[in-house]
């Protein structure tokens, strides 16, 4: 009995570590994507301001995610949190070359392993479920794009088809921090996220999600 309890606790630690590793890597990819968009002149000024605020928020979240992921590894935690502090300083000072270089090193050191979350294994029933979820919980905001907003809601179908698949998956994992809809954590499990990814990739915006 004692052995099974110990093994169960160890398994829980592994699962928790896996989720924390995934969330940290996903947050890094979202940060990288937002930075690349910020440095692209095609976005309207208000959206540029919104991206700037999002990046500042991402940089505030990263140290906490790093500490959760690297707890028990003091040397690694100190090193990574120090790199994140360098990112924050570089962003504040607009030293873009430093910011880009350090962020690239972090995304290489902590890659996002998708496993089954990339949507390729989703079944037709799961995809239909994802369509219903989108219609009930997401479409009211994501169906309309306001280019004059600092935080325009993205067309997730366009993102799914045009964005780097790994970055799109990262955005589906991280969600949007601090919104009433999902609080501070994505409420969906990996199978549900995978189903949504598959839905956005296989459907078009105007198709009926209830079929």
Ordered by start, the domain boundaries in the chain are: 2-109, 124-202
Q: What is the pLDDT of residues 7-63, one digit of tens each?
A: 233 333 333 457 788 889 999 999 999 999 999 888 788 888 999 999 999 999 899
pLDDT value for 186: 65
What phi and psi values does residue 51 have, to the nearest 5 degrees? Answer: -60, -40
Let me know if domain 124-202 sits in CATH 1.10.760. yes
What percentage of residues in the chain have a pLDDT greater than 90?
A: 39
Nearest CA among 67, 58, 69 for reference residue 32: 58
Sign of the four-CA dihedral 173, 179, 185, 187: negative
Cβ atoms 156, 135 nearer than 8 A: no
> From CA 178, how far away is CA 139, in angstroms rounded?
19
Which residue is listed with tokens 């500042």?
Answer: 56
CB 116 within 8 A of CB 138: no
At 176-205, the pLDDT tens digits run 443 444 445 667 777 888 899 999 988 765
């Amino acid at each position: 009995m004692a052995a099974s309890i110990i093994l169960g606790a160890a398994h829980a630690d592994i699962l928790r570590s896996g989720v924390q590793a995934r969330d940290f890597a996903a947050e890094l990819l979202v940060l990288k994507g937002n930075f690349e968009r910020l440095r692209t002149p095609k976005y309207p000024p208000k959206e540029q301001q919104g991206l700037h605020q999002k990046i500042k928020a991402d940089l505030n979240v990263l140290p906490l995610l790093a500490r959760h992921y690297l707890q028990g590894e003091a040397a690694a935690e100190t090193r990574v949190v120090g790199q994140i502090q360098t990112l924050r300083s570089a962003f504040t000072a607009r030293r873009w070359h430093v910011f880009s270089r350090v962020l690239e090193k972090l995304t290489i050191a902590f890659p996002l392993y998708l496993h089954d979350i990339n949507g390729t294994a989703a079944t037709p029933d799961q995809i239909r479920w994802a369509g219903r979820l989108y219609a009930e919980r997401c479409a009211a905001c994501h169906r309309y794009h306001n280019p004059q907003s600092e935080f325009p809601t993205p067309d997730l179908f366009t993102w799914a088809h045009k964005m780097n698949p790994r970055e799109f998956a990262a955005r589906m994992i991280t969600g949007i921090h601090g919104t009433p809809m999902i609080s501070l954590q994505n409420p969906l499990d990996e199978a549900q996220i995978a189903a949504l990814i598959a839905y956005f990739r296989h459907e078009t915006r105007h198709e009926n999600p209830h079929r």
